[in-house]
Chain A
Amino acid sequence: NAGVTQTPKFQVLKTGQSMTLQCAQDMNHEYMSWYRQDPGMGLRLIHYSVGAGITDQGEVPNGYNVSRSTTEDFPLRLLSAAPSQTSVYFCASSLQGGETQYFGPGTRLLVL
């Protein structure tokens, strides 16, 4: 099992550009989530999904969109990147919400 995979590992964007951060898991987990990690802020929940076709907002959803067309994939879209979105992004999955989260290796994003 590959676990949770994320691509790309690093990305530099210019303000206003759009991009999609990819996340996939092969553990047949129903629950998937996206977090951003900034110094001194811990992990903040952006969006989450309790199953295919169902998504909901977390603590900091503005500027991000998600979709969950399959159990395996949970992409995160930045529609118009802003410098405030410079961060490290982690995707995680679990059997159900509130249970052990399995994290991907992260995507480091720099928005200039």
Chain B
Amino acid sequence: TQLLEQSPQFLSIQEGENLTVYCNSSSVFSSLQWYRQEPGEGPVLLVTVVTGGEVKKLKRLTFQFGDARKDSSLHITAAQPGDTGLYLCAGAKNQGGKLIFGQGTELSVKP
């Protein structure tokens, strides 16, 4: 049973398109993190959201934490080939608790 469900699992788009990746759960999380992983490497943190309704921007990436702290989304504007990679969401149910990961979204941006 996956505590965090990510969708879509695979996404192949053209350069310049916009996209949204979703991370959903029936559980409440104290915080939610988004990571990006490139082939042959470990995941690297992009952002952490902790407050319900919080929105964070990282250049062309916009992250949102749901009001009820059960879901999150990652929106990429004008995707570029350099955005290609595996995007993972991860949640902690309580502060200091273990981190649970979603299945990941494999993004491919074609020039």
Question: Which residues of chain A have a CB within 8 Å of any CB of chain B?
Answer: 4, 33, 35, 40-45, 48, 50, 56, 58-59, 90, 92, 96-98, 100-101, 103-106
Contact = CB atoms under 8 A, between A and B. Distances in A.
A43 B43 contact: yes
Interface of B: 2, 6, 9, 30-31, 33, 35, 40-45, 48, 88, 90, 92, 94-104
Contacts of B9: 40
A104 B103 CA distance: 19
A35 B99 CA distance: 10
A96 B104 CA distance: 23
Contacts of B100: 45, 59
A98 B31 contact: yes
B92 A97 contact: yes
